[in-house]
Amino acid sequence: MITVTIVRNETDKRIVSFAVEGHAKYAKPGKDIVCAGVSAVSVGTVNAIETLAGIELPYTMKNGWLSSDIPVLPDAEADGRMQLLLESMAVMLETIATSYGKHVVIQERLQ
């Protein structure tokens, strides 16, 4: 099962970190559309933040694991763009979890 953990700031609800871990086991490796979808959304979001917003996110990526602690940017406009992309990721992952709940779980918590 893939577990997605999204941590939000208790005050303003901005995303302060996220982690994606595990394997969906929906199908054999190389044919697992659930794993591919989650990977595309999460890795694509990190790449989009770097490419479109010009922000290099600190992240760790290993087999079956991606995590990032999200910095607070001094430029409010850049921070807003980054948060919009992160919120988009959260919505897309929630959509996958709604369709494939036996293989993906989303956990959100406040910090």
Catalytic residues, by residue number, are 23, 35
Q: Which amino acid is at 52?
A: L
Query: Position 67: which residue type?
Result: S
Using CA atoms, how far apart are residues 79 and 71, in angstroms rounded to an integer?
9
Q: Please measure the distance between the N-terminal and C-terminal CA atoms of the chain and give it in whole angstroms.
A: 25
